[in-house]
Structure 1
């Protein structure tokens, strides 16, 4: 498996600034080519760390989540990563090694590792390896529900989560679901969506869920609202509610992306 992560660096002065970056009222595309050193942020309470903040709540756009790509130098990390006591965290390791502690439990993470951390949990994250570590981090304030208990912490690896084929797809479209879709404790899901070459979403999905989609590998033509956009490894798509979407996988290998969506709660009135 390969897992894309921001390339960093900075193009030379001989490069033209044209790019495929797009920002509209319905969606945004932040391609890998613009995820460079000078757009990173340093975070209070973290050492040896920088972050690409790819999504944040915006009034009138996507309002439920923030999504970071966090790069940890050797011995970089934080003993108190989350400043919001109501925020839950979802981590997915793209490269390198990391030590995640949740309460008293230590978890050694590697590329493909997935972790869910409930709000209020005490946790820390450190790169104890000799190489840079890259981690995708989704932050969301937890929304409670009637008769719904708090989810427990979960640490697993994508190889332990078999793809579930979508109906009538012949296995060309499948989703790895880290949470049971019927478990209403969770107010969001982060999945890996997989397409084999030629696989597709065969209709324009138009729904209330907001999305963050980080392309882990492969290429596709992706429908966003009324526009077909070419996307590849490291490209990030950010969709507000009800933005129509579909895709057709291109190339000779799988097209895979990490998908955030908010689910399982009433709409606040």
Structure 2
């Protein structure tokens, strides 16, 4: 299997970021997917196609799992898979024109090898892997010092909190407070920086896979709300935190779920 050229991948992401920034001066074609709050633009689709073309030219035997254009399912996790979210935080992109990321993860036989989160408008690329460590652009980062759940902020999915999904408010109340960014990539960055102590949401594989690689490099655990391994198949409830906090979060969700919900 051909070794991935990390510098080449970083250049692809930078080039994609420039394309996205240039698109902000033009008229976007915005479409609804499942509902009026689930948006996709022509720029999401074109950015993904740009990255797919680059990958297929250099690594033609590799698989691709991506949010748009019919790449959203995959037959197995065998081999090397590139997992792409061309614009994570599309509503932010459309309305705020900031607070969105390009996300890309590389997995081999289901094991995360490399992760990339590019905060386009801030020009910050977080990248790395278990063997490499985690970098922000060229600066190598250190894992944040552990902070107890009761003393830290949680990144949270707004719907889960508002509707108290599986007792989400009890988990939120165990922390100092919640923050909602509307972008999984930015939430992962907040964990990497240590400004948040956990992240709870409902995510698709392209939302969580790239960040998982980086989080695991710093000792974070990323699972379902009940502590099970993520399936990489459709949307899943997601919880990430350092081990002690993760254990507390999972225990609270289990306590508030029915037996049927825990086994779903």
Q: Sort the TM-score into its range (normalised by shorter chain).
A: under 0.3
Considering fraction of residues, name the structure with more strand. 1
What TM-score results when the alignment is normalised by the length of structure 1? 0.26
What TM-score results when the alignment is normalised by the length of structure 2? 0.26
